[in-house]
């Protein structure tokens, strides 16, 4: 009996593993740079919203959101919509959705599969309304990208850079009719494990994103 249960558990693990591998890279759409209200109106509308409609983001909205957050806006030099100290580009975006989590690859403007687990509850960490959002963007800093290495000054710099990415998200949302809130709360240990982060990578902020209710 125990042996059968063991085999069943191994079988289920294998199936789960295969499912994760079977997740496909998602090619994002080119950003629509004409959309949205004026910058001043986006600033006037910017606010934290914590209620989300039960509706997935369209591929165009997801594509535009990620490009606005930290996409490449000067392809000839590879620079981004968000500045970073010494152009370290140390903030990565993990996209947590019901079907699993992906890593945003800005260079290819695509989403690379990480896990088939829904990690929105790990980002919620008790603030249950977060799981109503179809997408939670987890901002992860890779301290190894700083030439100075990991120290108190570099951590402060990383926090500044993450804040700018988060504000890009907020202004895209207020300017294009979506809802978001910047959050420091999250289960960092679970996210670190499930997103397969290395010892130099730290979850630093997150932004649930959806349509307002
Ligand atoms: C660094 C940072 C961390 C935050 N963490 C949370 C959080 O964990 N949960 C939450 O509901 N709001 C969080 N907020 C949102 C603030 O509560 C919110 O910005 C503040 O109340 C002002 O409201 P406003 O954004 O509508 O102007 C955070 C904001 C910042 C800037």
CB 212 within 8 A of CB 51: yes
Nearest CA to ligand 1 atom 20: 48
pLDDT tens digits for 51-93? 999 999 999 999 999 999 999 999 999 999 999 999 999 999 9
Distance, CA of 213 to CA of 208 (rounded, Å) = 14
CA of 49 to the centre of ligand 1 (A): 10
pLDDT tens digits for 27-37? 999 999 999 99
1 CB-near residues (< 8 Å, 6+ apart): none
Q: What is the DSSP letter of 43?
A: H
Neighbour count for residue 198 (Cβ, 10 Å): 9
Mutate to test the pocket of ligand 1, among 51, 127, 129, 183 (most ligand atoms within 8 A of CB): 183
List all residues whose CB is within 6 A of at least one atom of ligand 1. 47-48, 50, 127, 181-185
Q: Which atom of ligand 1 is nearest to the CA of 47?
A: 26
pTM score, whole prediction: 0.92
CATH 3.40.50.300 is held by the domain 24-210: no
Q: Where are the alpha helices (DSSP H) in the chain?
A: 2-22, 39-45, 59-70, 120-124, 152-176, 188-194
Which of 17-21, 76-80, 92-96 shows the lowest per-residue confidence on average (mean pLDDT)? 17-21
């Amino acid at each position: 009996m125990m042996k059968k249960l063991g085999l069943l558990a191994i079988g289920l693990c294998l199936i789960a593993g295969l499912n994760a591998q079977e997740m496909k890279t998602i090619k994002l759409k080119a950003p629509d740079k004409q959309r949205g209200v004026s910058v001043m109106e986006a600033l006037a509308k910017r606010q934290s919203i914590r209620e989300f409609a039960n509706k997935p983001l369209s591929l165009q909205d997801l594509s535009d959101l990620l490009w606005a957050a930290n996409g490449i806006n000067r392809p000839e030099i590879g620079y981004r919509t968000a500045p970073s100290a010494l152009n370290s580009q140390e903030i990565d975006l993990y996209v947590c959705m019901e079907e699993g989590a992906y890593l945003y690859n800005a260079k290819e403007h695509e989403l690379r599969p990480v896990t088939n687990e829904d990690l929105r509850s790990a980002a919620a960490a008790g603030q249950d309304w977060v799981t109503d959002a179809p997408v939670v963007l987890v901002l992860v800093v890779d301290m190894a990208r700083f030439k100075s290495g990991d120290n108190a000054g570099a951590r402060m710099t990383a926090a500044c850079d993450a804040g700018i990415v988060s504000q890009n998200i907020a202004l895209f949302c207020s300017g294009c009719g979506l809802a978001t809130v910047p959050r420091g709360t999250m289960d960092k240990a679970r996210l670190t494990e499930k997103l397969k982060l290395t010892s130099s990578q730290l979850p630093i902020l997150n932004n649930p994103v959806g349509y307002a209710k």
